[in-house]
Amino acid sequence: MIVLGIETSCDETAAAVVDAERRIRANVVLSQLDEHTPHGGVVPEIAARAHLEHLDGLVRQAMREAGVDFRDLAGIAATGGPGLIGGVIVGMMTAKAIAAALDKPFLAVNHLEAHALTARLTDDLAFPYLLLLVSGGHCQLVAVEGVGRYRRYGTTVDDAVGEAFDKVAKLIGLDYPGGPAVERSALRGDPRRFAFPRPMKGRPDCDFSFSGLKTAVRHAVAGLPAELSERERSDVAASFQAAVAEVLEDRAHRAMARFVAEHGAPAPFVISGGVASNKFLRERLAAACTRGGFRFVAPPPALCTDNAAMIAWAGIERLRLGLVDDLAFAPRPRWPLEEMRAG
């Protein structure tokens, strides 16, 4: 079973070919970083036009690298949402056209489900397991109980953690994208210099909030010279990153306790999404898992950020269960995991 995957939900245009034996035969990603950096963030119209311009070529490249013919495919999977609707439409229409021309199954993949199932591609995990999904648009703790079966323990009530990283980077004059820039700057900083708050820490639920932390950073920066020195910039970055790590650890411990109460024992704890590439956060969460008796699992960074291999794999998971979509499927800018069809 070989599936072509297409990902166009934000600012990466991607195509991949994956088989049911968990082999990634091709995984091609074209970054739009140069187009969006001058604007300090993703511009939806620019992203959609770039997808339209490059996607066909990337699909041909992925198929060529995989060494397979379109007739060899068992199905075509594409992100159906959530995401920037213009980009999602481009990917969906391309996938539908290929599926219709070949009379092959079409699979509309939930981008969040693809992140949730990536660890089954990379580590062959069995259900259930606990997932921390952290990215620019999402921050959730989820019990993954099966394909299409997700129990959300907590989510952000305001900003996602990746969005907070981007905003803090902008506040202290770092380049876009903010997550990697803050992480690099924090390596040279003192995480104890600024006593930033730890929002939601200690609360009995598993929700997150990063708006107040971002505001605290803004106030701290306002009290510094207009032109920040490298030391001041690094100290702010390190103090902010330390606060985020402490919040994620606390929320993860709450989720672990709930998971054990519901499932009877610890299980793998998976971190996925673009922010999961942050080495400092990975180390802190790995230590938290050791204390909680959970096995820490983090897919390779290239499979944490947006990619089409995870879309193809989610397509394989759903195709195995007969969860094929009609060509009339409408792209969804919002698509909560709780609304997924279960196998």
How would you write the pLDDT of the chain (343 residues) with one tens digit per residue?
999 999 999 889 999 999 999 999 999 999 877 787 777 778 888 989 999 999 999 999 999 999 999 999 999 999 999 999 999 999 999 999 999 999 999 999 999 999 999 999 999 999 999 999 998 888 999 999 999 999 999 999 999 999 999 999 999 999 888 999 999 999 999 999 999 999 999 999 999 999 999 999 999 999 999 999 999 999 999 999 999 999 999 999 999 999 999 999 999 999 999 999 999 999 999 999 999 999 999 999 999 999 999 999 999 999 999 999 999 999 999 999 989 888 7
234 DSSP assignment: H
Q: Do 39 and 92 reside in the same domain of the chain? A: yes
Q: Do 49 and 191 reside in the same domain of the chain? A: no
Cβ-based neighbours of 136, under 8 Å, separated by 6 or more? 10, 160, 162, 163, 166, 179, 274, 275
Assess if residue 285 is contained within a domain. yes
> At 330, is the secondary structure helix, strand, or coil?
coil
Range of the domain at 44: 2-116+303-339
Question: Of 122, 123, 132, 112, nearest to 285 (Cα)?
Answer: 132
Residue 335 belongs to a domain with what CATH number? 3.30.420.40
Q: Do 268 and 162 reside in the same domain of the chain? A: yes
pLDDT for 234 equals 98
Q: Determine if the peptide bond prior to 82 is cis (ω within 30°).
A: yes
Rounded to whole angstroms, what are the CA distances from 235 to 192, 219, 239? 8, 14, 6
Between the CA atoms of 135, 140, 146 and 147, what dihedral angle is there, to the nearest 10 degrees?
Answer: -40
Assess if residue 121 is contained within a domain. no
Q: Do 136 and 94 reside in the same domain of the chain? A: no
pLDDT for 37 equals 78
Assess if residue 122 is contained within a domain. no
> What's the structural domain count of the chain?
2
Q: Are 194 and 239 in contact (CB under 8 A)?
A: yes
> At 298, is the secondary structure helix, strand, or coil?
coil
Please give the Cα distance from 72 to 50 (Å, whole number). 28
Note the pTM of the prediction, 2 decimals.
0.95
Q: Do 201 and 270 reside in the same domain of the chain? A: yes
> What are the structure tokens assigned to 76, written together?
């075509």
Q: Do 291 and 323 reside in the same domain of the chain? A: no
Sole residue written with tokens 């109980």: 145
> What are the structure tokens assigned to 179, written together?
């997550």
Cβ-based neighbours of 123, under 8 Å, separated by 6 or more? 268, 297, 299
Sole residue written with tokens 């290929």: 98
